[in-house]
Structure formats: C-alpha cells, structure tokens
Amino acid sequence: MFGPEGDILRHLPSAFPPHGADIPGRPARESNFMNAPLTPSAQDSLPASTRQAQVVQALQAHLPAHALIWHAEDTVPYECDGLTAYRQRPLVVALPETEAQVQAVLKACHAIGVPVVARGAGTGLSGGAMPHALGVTLSLAKFNRILKIDPVSRTAIVQCGVRNLAISEAAAPFNLYYAPDPSSQIACTIGGNVAENSGGVHCLKYGLTLHNVLRVRGFTAEGDPIEFGGEALDAPGLDLLALVIGSEGMLAVTTEVTVKLVPKPQLARCIMASFDDVRKAGDAVAAVIAAGIIPAGLEMMDKPMTAAVEDFVHAGYDLDAAAILLCESDGTLEEVEEEIGRMTEVLRGCGATAITCSSSEDERLKFWSGRKNAFPASGRISPDYMCLDSTIPRKRLADILLAIQQMEIKYQLRCCNVFHAGDGNLHPLVLFDANDPDQLHRCELFGADILETSVAMGGTISGEHGVGIEKLNSMCVQFTAAENEQMFGVKRAFDPAGSLNPGKLIPTLQRCAEYGKQVFRAGQPQPFADLPRF
Ligand SMILES: Cc1cc2nc3c(=O)[nH]c(=O)nc-3n(C[C@H](O)[C@H](O)[C@H](O)COP(=O)(O)OP(=O)(O)OC[C@H]3O[C@@H](n4cnc5c(N)ncnc54)[C@H](O)[C@@H]3O)c2cc1C
C-alpha cells in the first residue's frame, strides 16, 4: 500500500535523514494510513523495476515516446524542487502535451493504483513537487500557452505551465499586468502558484494568488474534468475555488487558469529606510499599517541579509543598519506624493536613521533588485540554505527576530532574514552544508523552532510557500488531530484513493503522536488539544 508519508520518507537517501526522524528520543516514523491508501494490490509488493515496467507499459498507450521518461539519468532532474536537501527520483516522468493526454495519464494511473505528483517549474520551497518513489511525476511544463488576453474584462486565460512573469509580459501592451509577483516569477508557473497560493512583494496591496484568480480548470485524480470558480466575481454554490487554491496538488491537477489583470500604476516610488535596531524597524512596520497606509510593498531585511545581497547586486543598501525597510507607493502622481510623505513621517517618528526615496524608475528597480535576489545571494555565502516561511503578527516582528538570534547560538548555524514585513510573513534563511548530516539535522531543528515559535507568538507555520514535506511536523503544532483528520476528509472527497501527491501537506495522527508537541491556539498552548471534544 502507498502510505501517505512513510514511503516518501523511507526512500530518502541516507545522507538526508527523514525530517525529524533522527531527533533523539523520537523513533523513526513508519508509514501509516490516515490518508486513505490506494486500493491494496499485489503490485505494491513488486520490485520497483517490475512496477516501473508496468507503469511505462500502461502510459505508453497514451503518450508519444518523447513524452515518457524513466531511465535514471533522465529522471534525476526531477528528484527535488527548491527544497534541495530532500531528493527522490520518480518511477516515471510523464510530459503530456494535451489535456486529453493528462486525462489519459490520470485514468491509467488510477486504474493501476499509482500515485501522481503534478509538477510545474519545480521552484517550490517546501518539497511539494518532490516525487513519490513508486509514483509518476506529471510534468505540466508543456502547457505553456497563453490562450487569451481580454483587456475589456481585464482577464487572461492561460495554460497551467505558463510562467508567472510571462502573463504580465503578454498583458503589457494593454497596460495591464498580473499582480502577484513571487521572487521566482521568472520561472515559476501559474499552476504552481495556484497550488501554493503564492504571494510576493506586492501582495500586501494587491492580494495573493487567491485574490487574483477567477477560475481553475483541470482533472481529478480519477481523470474526470473539474472546474472551480467562473468568469464572474462569484460562482454559485460552495466556494471550492478558494479550497483548490493552496491545496498543493492534492485535490486536482490544474490545466488552465483564468486570472485577473490590473492596470499598471502610473507611477511607483520606493523608500529605503535604515534602522539601528531591529525592534525599531519592526515597530515601524506595525506603525505604517496602523496609520492606515497600505503600501504597494513593505519589506524588511536584517544586517546579515543586506551584507550578502549588497555584495551580489550592489543595490546601495546601508550596511551599517541593523535592518532596512523598503516601502513602496504606487498610483497617480498625487497619490504617490501624498503617501510617500505620510510614510516618511511615520518612519522618521519610529527612529529611522536614514531615509532615501527613489528619484527614478532605475533607482526604484535597483532598490528592489537586492530584495528580489536575496535567495540567490544567500547561495553565494553558504553551500546550502533552507528558506523558512512562517507568519507572525506584525507587532511581534522584533520579538521573533530576537528569538532567531538566540536560535543561531543554540543551533550553531547562521541565519539571514528577509521578509514581507507588511504581511508579517518571515523568510529566515538558515545557512548550512547539506554534505554534513549533523548540520542538516541542526538546520531542521532550527527551522522547526522558528515555525513553532511563530505559532506560539500567535502566527502560522506557513505564509506562502506551502507545507509540502517541509512543515509536516509543525502542522501537528498548528492543528489538532481532529482538524488534521477533517483535512484528510476533504482530500478523500476529491481523491478517495489518496493518489494525488500523497504524503504532503497533512500530517498523519501517528506522525503527530510521535512528534508529541503541544498545539497552540491564538498564541496560547492548548491543554489536551488532541482529546475529542463533545
Ligand atoms: C528563488 C525563489 C524565490 C521564491 N519566491 C517566492 C515568493 O516570493 N513568493 C512565493 O509565494 N513563493 C516563492 N517561491 C516559491 C515557489 O516559486 C512558489 O511556490 C511557486 O508557486 C511554485 O511554482 P512551480 O511552478 O515551480 O511549482 P512546483 O514547485 O513545480 O510545484 C509546487 C506545488 O504545486 C503543485 N503543482 C504544480 N503544478 C500543478 C498543477 N498544474 N496542478 C496541480 N498541482 C500543481 C505541485 O504538486 C507542488 O505541490 C520562491 C522560490 C524560489 C526558488
């Protein structure tokens, strides 16, 4: 049987122990079956090579030869996503080119009980697209056509494999763009954005993927066509569009998306403000929002991050500052002037030691170039980094940063911080060397500590990168067993066999029992949270 978690974790290379499995006093996890397993079949006990031959034979009937790969040297590029510490080669990779082929692959996999993991560009940071050892990776890379740009309704209909930035490029002649802008937008696909409910620098003002998508079309695990939402702002019945957005490829495979387009602002200007103390910078973020201002972007970087970035892109950052804020305003000339004036006043009142406002579009882009390159810049100063993604109430920003500084000492690893401060969405980058199992282990503990400290401070374990495999343990701290079981119930309603991306997003009861940490609610530990309530 295909257990939801155990199979993936058991097949990880030994250099990369299962997440949390080797924590002292905690036994390695075994597979368990909270998630409805696939129909048990004799095939599950077959050697992988025999199983592979069966799957290849089943899919060859539906795909041209070039759209099916299974030799080890060809499937290696699919072995991980942006969470590179964990790797697993898939049994087979299918690269369909038409919806009919997607449907046929799903039907064939369902018929022979094979797990399917949808994959966009593989830029995900939580292991969502990590393959299943006994499964098919369904690459949607060839679904890269923009089907329609409608400047009148300000919408675009695009295939799921279209890159985020390509939508804005196609809409540019109409003076429109697609607002959610993950820093990976040059590469990540809209299908992946929908699955992760991705955000970006400008989502504080313009909303996440959820707020910018009208309709999602695709197929269920059984290969039946399915559609969520519609062309109008609301659709009759339950709002299943909101359910599928952020469902990490566990409910359906997306093939086509209708997105909203927004007019390009006439003008945008960006303030760069320096602070000599992270607490003052954190308080300034809360003060800007409390003043009733919703900046187009409000980002923060700490000193280690600005040092790493400045060396890389020379954005002109203040290297003496304990933290810098980037605050953007967009709109008409009058709106921008007024908002920049108000933000400057608030930042000065909060103790900014220096404030520079971009005076040209080039300068504005230069300010942002550092922020947008923060992750690659970290890759230059460390062999590996793990990017965390928790949220925190804005008023606790400084508290979490100071707590992270203590964790650097505790786990003996460095951490740079860059984040969507306006949303309270942290991106601590823990630096480590994956070739050293002890460093990876300490990095995992460090990461879990950040996520769970965020929950204890009233935040959440995930802001925009999803749970994938990375945050499964910490889900046990965020949700009770009953809540996790309800999520499995939703999964079963769409995918009774549990074959779409099994083992991701929702932790099993067994995992949570072994992890054994307390559930927090509204920042408070919940006594006996796992006991059933009557
Ligand atoms: C340098 C860098 C910067 C980043 N910056 C940001 C950021 O600012 N904001 C942010 O939110 N994220 C960011 N990310 C994370 C990542 O880019 C997003 O999560 C993105 O949405 C993933 O898209 P993808 O096409 O690469 O999806 P993949 O990584 O291929 O897959 C992600 C998940 O989506 C599922 N999936 C993919 N396509 C489909 C489909 N067609 N149907 C059903 N399920 C599907 C997969 O199964 C998986 O669970 C960053 C990543 C990197 C490497």
Contact 70, 91 (CB under 8 A): yes
pLDDT tens digit sequence for 48-90: 899 999 999 999 999 999 999 999 999 999 999 999 989 999 9
**Res 24 pLDDT > 60:** no
Closest to 325 in 3D by CA, of 266, 394, 256: 394
d(CA 116, CA 295): 41
Q: What share of the chain is helix, strand, coil (3-state, %, to 5)?
A: 40, 20, 40
**What's the rounded Cα separation, in Å, for the pair 199 and 202?**
8
Question: At what angle are helices 278-290 and 397-411 packed, to 10 degrees?
Answer: 150
Using pLDDT thresholds of 50, 70 and 90, give the confidence band for residue 40: very low
Give dist(CA 70, CA 89) in Å, integer: 9
pLDDT of residue 311: 84
Residue with more model confidence, 18 or 228: 228
Pocket test for ligand 1, best of 79, 88, 97, 123 (most atoms within 8 A of CB): 123
Per-residue confidence band for 237, with pLDDT thresholds at 50, 70 and 90 = confident
| Coil, strand or helix at 264 | coil
Statement: residue 21 has pLDDT above 90: no
Contact in structure between 426 and 450 (CB atoms under 8 Å): yes
> With a threshold of 0.85, does the pTM exceed it?
yes
Tell me the percentage of the chain whose pLDDT exceeds 70. Answer: 90
Find tokens 């909203």 and name the residue. 260
**pLDDT at residue 17 is higher than 80:** no
Query: Which of the listed residues 125, 372, 390 should we mutate to test ligand 1's pocket, taking the one with most ligand atoms within 8 A of CB?
Result: 125
Q: Is 139 in the pocket of ligand 1 (CB under 6 A)?
A: no
- Residue 528's pLDDT is what? 62
The Cα–Cα gap between 87 and 130 comes to 7
- Distance in Å from the first CA to the final CA of the chain: 34
Mark residue 373 as left, alpha or beta (left: phi above 0; alpha: psi -120 to 50; beta: remaining): alpha
CA 525 to chain centre: 26
Query: Quick one: tokens of 256?
Result: 């086509």
d(CA 381, CA 435): 15
Which of 140, 183, 384, 419 should be mutated for ligand 1, with most atoms under 8 A from CB? 183
Write down the pLDDT at residue 204. 94
Instruction: Return d(Cα 397, Cα 391) in angstroms, integer.
Output: 9
pLDDT at 42 over 70: no
Whether the predicted pLDDT of 14 surpasses 60: no
The reply to whether ligand 1 has any atom less than 6 angstroms from the CB of 140 is yes
What pLDDT, on the 0 to 100 scale, is given for residue 147? Answer: 98
Confirm or reject: Cβ of 374 under 6 Å from ligand 1: no
Q: What is the pLDDT of residues 115-161, one digit of tens each?
A: 999 999 999 999 999 999 999 999 999 999 999 999 999 999 999 99
Complete DSSP assignment for 293-340? ---SEEEEEEHHHHHHHHHHH-----TT-SEEEEEEEEESHHHHHHHH
Of residues 25 and 374, more confidently modeled: 374
Give the number of the atom of ligand 1 that is nearest the alpha carbon of residue 198. 11
> Would you put residue 445 in left (φ > 0), alpha (ψ -120 to 50) or beta?
alpha
| pLDDT over 90, % of the chain | 79
pLDDT band at 44 (very low <50, low <70, confident <90, very high): low
